[in-house]
Amino acid sequence: MKKFLLVLSFFLIVSVLAQSLEDLEKSWLELLQRVVREPDSDELVELGRKLSAKRRLAQLETLKDSVLEENLDKFVANLSEMSETRDDLLDECFVLFPKLKADVASFERGDNSKLNSVCALWKLGYKPVVPQGFAAWLVQTFLSDPFLIDWNLVFFLKNSSNKDVIAKQIRQECEKLKDKEKDYPALYRLMVLAKQLDGADSQLESELSRYIELMTSLERYSSERLSNEEFEKFSRALNNLNLKKDNLKAILSHLAARSGIQGSSTKGLENRKNLQKLMTRWRFRIDLMILVPSAFFLTFFFLPRRWKISFFVFFKAYKIAIKLSQKELSKDPTDIRLRTLLAMFYERIGENEKAFQEYKIVRDLSRMVKKDRILPRA
């Protein structure tokens, strides 16, 4: 009983004192001295494992505070933001935060709700076994949550032991949705993710890339007029696209009408469309098919700037997203969410110095807001 009370009292002392690296080192030396005096103590061995794990993890500056405080939520958030990687600290992580080990087991059994907890553990050496059904869940969830796929998730999946299987399943799920034109930007990002995992090209990815490129080009004319030559070029590109394209047709029709392009040019386009339909045995009237998609896509030009930012991120038009973000930040420079996104956009185009400056601003702003403020993922 006396021995138990001594160990318990020492554990309490360690918990109180180890609030800085200096205190942690003192506690470590004191533990070593006690182990010499009591080499057969199982309790001291267990306590030593925890203190050793804490000591090693605290060497990482980004994680230091959360490790010393043994704050799991803060640890997960800091690990997500950390740029450094260490592939030899996973065991220490599980010793200090046993709940993370349980979350890993739950995720690999198919509990996708644990993804946020385990997604950044690849930085400490975790090689996940992604469960069956994850790809289908990822595709469906990403369609409603455009911030789901961030750099942590990409590297998490790239470090998985079954990444080729996941890539194949992602493509299969996207193929099921290839007639959902409104989801093409999201499907393109998913197809790019699949390629990042196994390096394989696909026909659907190529077609989606052409669709996104054409949409981006048309968007640039949202406040300009089309020439007859440009109209003909877009018309040919549309005819060569082997995907559903009613929304693109609606945009082009609107731009042509606004630019005053009528008569032979417009009729020529209709003739080419009719010829293509006859050759592929598609018998329907284009004017009836355009009405509803046109109403949807014309509203895009009047969407709030924040929505447009998310839209362009879908198909990696980061320079446009950066310009829109900068304009929005001119109205509210303290917007942590948008500044975090801007930093990520700079990373994507290789502007690391600018990204670093934005992250420093985010860090300083974060210290000024409430502790329960959660930064977004992009």
322-366: pLDDT as tens digits = 888 888 888 888 777 788 788 888 877 878 778 778 877 877 666
| Long-range Cβ pairs for the range 142-150 (8 Å, 24+) | 142/186, 142/189, 142/190, 143/183, 143/186, 146/186, 146/310, 146/313, 146/314, 147/376, 147/377, 147/378, 148/377, 149/189, 149/190, 149/193, 150/344, 150/377, 150/378
Give me the mean pLDDT over the 286-314 stretch. 52
CA–CA dist 280, 69 (Å, integer): 67
Please, are residues 167 and 200 in contact by the beta-carbon 8 Å criterion? yes
Q: Pick the residue with more confidence: 150 or 183? A: 183
User: Quick check: 30 pLDDT over 50?
Assistant: yes
Q: Pick the residue with more confidence: 57 or 11? A: 57
For the chain, count helices (H), then strands (E): 21, 0
Please, are residues 292 and 333 in contact by the beta-carbon 8 Å criterion? no
Q: What is the dihedral of CA 7, 9, 10, 13, to 10 degrees?
A: 160
Nearest to 111 by CA among 80, 93, 137, 91: 137
Domains, the chain, ordered by start:
1-59 (no CATH), 127-201 (no CATH), 217-302 (no CATH), 305-366 (1.25.40.10)
Give the relative orientation of helices 336-348 and 318-329 as an angle to the nearest 10 degrees: 150
Q: Pick the residue with more confidence: 297 or 91? A: 91
What's the whole-number average pLDDT of the chain? 76
pLDDT at site 39:
52
Nearest to 249 by CA among 278, 272, 223: 272
User: Quick check: 370 pLDDT over 80?
Assistant: no
Residue 281 pLDDT level (bands cut at 50, 70, 90): very low
User: Quick check: 129 pLDDT over 60?
Assistant: yes
Q: Pick the residue with more confidence: 47 or 42? A: 47
- Among 7-21, 23-37, 43-57, 234-248, the minimum mean pLDDT is found in 7-21
Residue 216 pLDDT level (bands cut at 50, 70, 90): confident
- Phi first, then psi, for residue 303 (nearest 5°) are -70, 155
Could you report the per-residue pLDDT of 16-26, keeping only the tens digit for each?
334 555 565 55
Extract the tokens encoding 257: 């009408």
Give me the mean pLDDT over the 112-129 stretch. 95
Residues constituting the chain: 378
User: Quick check: 193 pLDDT over 50?
Assistant: yes
User: Quick check: 42 pLDDT over 60?
Assistant: no
